[in-house]
Amino acid sequence: MPKRTDIEKILLIGSGPIVIGQACEFDYSGAQACKALIEEGYQVTLLNSNPATIMTDPVMAHRTYIEPITAGVLAKVIERERPDALLATLGGQTALNVAVQASEAGVLDRFAVEMIGANETAIKCAEDRRKFRAALEEIGVEMPRSRAVYSVQEAREAAREIGFPLIIRPSFTLGGTGASVAYNVGEFQTAAARGLDASMIGEALIEESVIGWKEYELEVMRDRKDNVVIICSIENIDAMGVHTGDSVTVAPAQTLTDKQYQNMRDAALAIIRKVGVETGGSNIQFAVHPDTGRMVAIEMNPRVSRSSALASKATGFPIAKIAAKLAVGYTLDEIPNDITRETPACFEPTIDYCVVKLPRFAFEKFPDADDTLTVSMKSVGEAMAIGRTFKEALQKGLRSLETGLSGLDRKCEAKVVPEDLLPMLARPNPLRLFYVKHALKNNMPIQQIADLTRIDPWFLNNIRQIVEMERELGSLSPEELLSEEFLRKAKRTGFSDRQIADLGGMDPAKVRRRRTDVAVRPVYRLVDTCAAEFEAYTPYFYSTYESEDEARPGARERVVIIGSGPNRIGQGIEFDYCCVHAALAAREDGYDSIMINSNPETVSTDYDTANRLYFEPLTAEDVLNIVEAEKPYGVILQFGGQTPLNISAELEANGVPLLGTSPRSIDLAEDREHFSQILRELGLKQAPSGIATTYEAALQLARRIGYPVLVRPSYVLGGRAMEIVYDAQELKRFMREALKASPEGSVLVDKFLEDAIEVDVDAISDGHRTVIGAIMEHIEQAGVHSGDSACVIPPQTLSRQLQDEIARQTRELSSALDIVGLMNIQFAVQQGEVYVLELNPRASRTIPFVSKATGVPLARLATKVMLGRSLEELGLTEEVRIKHVAVKEAVFPFTRFTGIDTQLGPEMKSTGEVMGIADDFGMAFAKAQLAAGQDLLKEGAVFFSLCQRDKTSLSAGVARKFSQMGFELVATEGTAAFLRASDIPCQRINKVREGRPHVVDAMINGEIGLVINTPSGKNPRQDEIAIRSTAWARRVPIITTIQGAVAAAEAIAGLKEHYLTVKTLQEYIIETHGEAPTPHGARV
């Protein structure tokens, strides 16, 4: 069946901001779908609120709506675009949910839009757990015993019936939100109530626990002619009970016999057919009892998922791309396998290596959060590694995580508290693997570890072999250790040079030199979907230590782009966006682009982004190996966030040609002393500051420069442990903590510029000319991490002169540091004075946002500049000023971590971002809030609770505006008194400790529609924490800064005055530049 000709225009929905449970994988799937559909000649319209994605680039679709993903907005887009078909199976749960809502609301019928891929009936059958169960019963596939409930009462009955432990699973949620385990009645009550609440339809499933069973996933694809294939099997190392996103997983399944695997495959085929996913990819999970082999189906995602991204990268089979083609009518046998070219996509990939995926957590950002791993996902990113054995892949994976490990090394053990061994083995937690190592080193029997952890002995035995190898290597003399025999043995077991060096008490460089001398070098092997059975053309490589190298550097000059590794808070999809652009730009200019990255979710690790892809850890060793194999013209470090910069010195020392701003300049910018020196020479202002190593010194310093001060341990990255302190008392407490945290034992003390406006500038320079990308004004005041602050282009309160001054300072700094490529500077403006806060000589998090807002592809231009082209030649000689307004808003993971404080501060906590774009600020801000999940027009009163410092005329003005717009105001005692004193009518409400009913009661009852709560300092009162966490849990919009409240008031005014309207990015670009680029789906 060839492709359908009865449809022309297809609307694709993305997954919105990066949140826990939905990350770059949907940019990967969406971008693949865009490419595939454009290639087939369809008109593609896209809805996605996330500006950091590749898919929202103006060349990826014909019509791109960067608008909130809500049913209402979707209806407006449909009304305006009149698409023939809606494809919602590639944008995660967000896209699926909003499509179902639109379908239920009759929008699709009204405008005759057909859902392709999976329709409403199939989606509901897969997602409604009762329907799913009934369907599986009909085909004789077993599930855990269970019952659907709609009230706590019913839940209790179900619990009695089934018996503990129990799983409580809300229906229709995202990434397992709200699902939890209960071992006793007490836990069960709370969990059941929360589960019912988290479900979009107030339904939860009370289920027989299969915790501790072996967990498997199959990635399944089906076409219109009912051909079904399995793309990949995945086995979870962490048994059932840990969300698969938080589990270490392995592909393919390792411990099933063929008969057991085929039974699972049969069940998967039967399920996808029964559920009726017409075309595309689905993910089906199974649990297998380790002792009896009883197999039960757990759940199904009727769409591509994080696991399908992993499966695509693990096998080389592009699931999303094929899913898009199947959705428009092709069958599997009509689509060629890109990798082999000769064989069709209708087959099951077979692999001849082992893939390990490891989650990356961010609990250091949320010290109060419980780090127990459960059925609700908590990790923020993942790394994947490929090796010929599990041991090799595991060790590569551990160093790919970029958490300071060089494998299953000795540092792992530093995190172990021996007394906690048993509980830390029994309780799933991020450090468990390290405890396993410790247990093995101390000769705990495999079976005992398996009983405690429920990790299959196969994995434990493999880890034991690593431990034994480490022991053997550690017992050797340096000469023996560096013998060819042992080097080869170690490398084949996945040991890094650093690990070997550490075991021999020597420098890693020595291990490298010695390896070179005795020719113990990695070879590169192809990921080819077919285990070498057919010739493969797509150059996707991994390293291993064997006999035959399959890498084939081409004739063209090569440019290596170092990616950004696993997502983490502070370094995510924005950098992948830049890396992808770099790869495409280098290709465009006639180079072969070489991508190195370890993050399976990303577009950069799609095998057709760069000319060659190396799926490898981003350590100096691994990068140097590739550089030796590829002998590139240059290596680009600027786009992968901090990751490439961390290895820049080592690369330079090894003579690697680095492109763009020199490592010397990078050092100058990153070294405080040198940077201050430069500022002084240029006559630029900086907040007064100093370094202290004792409390007394810090106290003296703080007194000299004046409170409040911003304090942070030196050499700790990403705003970690950074705080604003207002008095000596707080300073004392902080110093105690900080001196513990800082390895150097010193603390940086900066004057905190209170009530200053923070400004971010992205700029590009070719070494002669520096052009401003954009000046962004932060909406939250300085002190909130720039990644967590909303910001706006163009600035709304900065005068033209101030903006010119900021631009001038940017150019001065660029020239002083010889910037070639991108740079980002943060400024603070206090009472008309401009202060330089910091400079990053690399692409910043805001590059994609700026590029979308202005229509200037900065990362692409920067790549060309680094390759020697001038900005003039590239047609960018001055800042592009826009007529519309673009707002970026951060998105937070607070609902994932119950009971933590949600106050914003100098430490970044957000996982993602959204963009609101409109003709005026109010509407742009309102859209950004809506996109971030804050419904500003929620019913109810506006609750004010202001800290002493914020009881100003500014806040009174905001309150008055709300009052004038007809909102009822409620406030706690002090704030109420302040408002009344300013003649603003308001109701007093009890604080939590003042007796009931209090403010939290009112929030739970839905009486409050907006919370404006400015925090009172580092040690917030308990009720502030309660208010903030209730707001997150109840989805009551919350604003924690006065500046944010000002913006919200304007936004609400905007929403009340006129309807939210939608407009494409291409239209904005035409307004700015006169024309828009032709969509080509990123083909070069």
Partner 1 sequence: MRATIALEDGRIFEGESFGAPGKRAGEVVFNTSMTGYQEILTDPSYKGQIVTMTYPLIGNYGVNPKDVESAGPKVEGFLVRELCPFPSNHAATGPLADYLLRHGVIAITEVDTRALTRHIRLAGAMRCVIAVGEHAPDDLVAEAQAAPGLVGRDMVKEVTCPEGYEFSDGSQPAAGGPLIVVYDFGVKRNILRSLAGMGCRVRVVPASTSADDALALQPAGILLSNGPGDPAGAPYAVREVRGLIGRAPIFGICLGHQLLGLALGGKTYKLKFGHRGSNHPVKELSTGKIDITCQNHGFCVDIDSLDQDQVELTHLNLNDMTLEGMRHKELPIMSVQYHPEASAGPHDARRLFGYFLRMIEMGR
Query: In terms of CB distance, is 262 or 952 closer to partner 1?
Result: 262
Q: What is the signed CA dihedral for 724, 725, 726, 731, rounded to 10 degrees?
A: -170
Identify which of 211, 220, 401, 221 has the alpha carbon closest to the alpha carbon of residue 296: 211
860 in Cβ contact with 581 (< 8 Å): yes
Give least dist CB 345 to partner 1, A: 9
Give least dist CB 541 to partner 1, A: 13
Nearest-angstrom CA–CA distance, 355 and 14: 27
Identify which of 550, 546, 547, 544 has the alpha carbon closest to the alpha carbon of residue 528: 550
Query: In terms of CB distance, is 360 or 491 closer to partner 1?
Result: 491
**At 191, which helix (H) or strand (E)?**
helix 185-198
3-state secondary structure of 94: helix
Identify which of 188, 186, 175 has the alpha carbon closest to the alpha carbon of residue 149: 188
Close Cβ partners of 446 (under 8 Å, ≥ 6 residues apart): 457, 460, 461, 464
745 in Cβ contact with 736 (< 8 Å): no
Query: In terms of CB distance, is 6 or 291 closer to partner 1?
Result: 291
Strand-strand pairing, 85-87 and 114-116: parallel
Query: In terms of CB distance, is 64 or 543 closer to partner 1?
Result: 543
Contacts with partner 1 by CB under 8 A lie at 225-227, 229, 252-262, 265-266, 289-293, 332-333, 342-344, 346-354, 388-390, 446, 456-458, 461, 525, 530-535, 546-548, 550
Residue type, 76: K
Nearest-angstrom CA–CA distance, 1044 and 1052: 12
Point out which residues pair with 636 in neighbouring strands.
561, 659
Query: In terms of CB distance, is 346 or 613 closer to partner 1?
Result: 346
Point out which residues pair with 148 in neighbouring strands.
205
3-state secondary structure of 604: coil
Sheet with 658-659, side-by-side order of all strands: 523-526, 540-544, 612-615, 592-597, 558-562, 634-636, 658-659
Question: With DSSP H G I counted as helix, E B as strand and the rest as coil, what are the percentages for the chain, rounded to 5?
Answer: 40, 20, 40
Give least dist CB 265 to partner 1, A: 6
Q: Computed from CA positions of residues 768, 772, 773, 777, in that sequence, does the dihedral angle turn out positive or negative?
A: positive
Give least dist CB 617 to partner 1, A: 20
Query: In terms of CB distance, is 295 or 1051 closer to partner 1?
Result: 295
617 in Cβ contact with 598 (< 8 Å): yes
Query: In terms of CB distance, is 446 or 509 closer to partner 1?
Result: 446
Query: In terms of CB distance, is 350 or 952 closer to partner 1?
Result: 350
Query: In terms of CB distance, is 227 or 948 closer to partner 1?
Result: 227
Strand-strand pairing, 791-793 and 747-751: unpaired
Peptide bond into 336 cis (omega under 30): no
Give least dist CB 615 to partner 1, A: 16
Query: In terms of CB distance, is 337 or 781 closer to partner 1?
Result: 337
Give least dist CB 463 to partner 1, A: 11
Give least dist CB 595 to partner 1, A: 23
Query: In terms of CB distance, is 446 or 977 closer to partner 1?
Result: 446
Give least dist CB 65 to partner 1, A: 38
Query: In terms of CB distance, is 8 or 550 closer to partner 1?
Result: 550
Task: Match 């990268």 to its residue by tokens.
Answer: 313
Give least dist CB 310 to partner 1, A: 17
Query: In terms of CB distance, is 219 or 758 closer to partner 1?
Result: 219
Give least dist CB 453 to partner 1, A: 14
Give least dist CB 357 to partner 1, A: 17
Identify which of 98, 89, 96 has the alpha carbon closest to the alpha carbon of residue 69: 98
43 in Cβ contact with 116 (< 8 Å): no
Peptide bond into 1079 cis (omega under 30): no
1036 burial type by CB count under 10 A (0-12 exposed, 13-18 middle, 19+ buried): buried
Give least dist CB 465 to partner 1, A: 9
Give least dist CB 316 to partner 1, A: 13
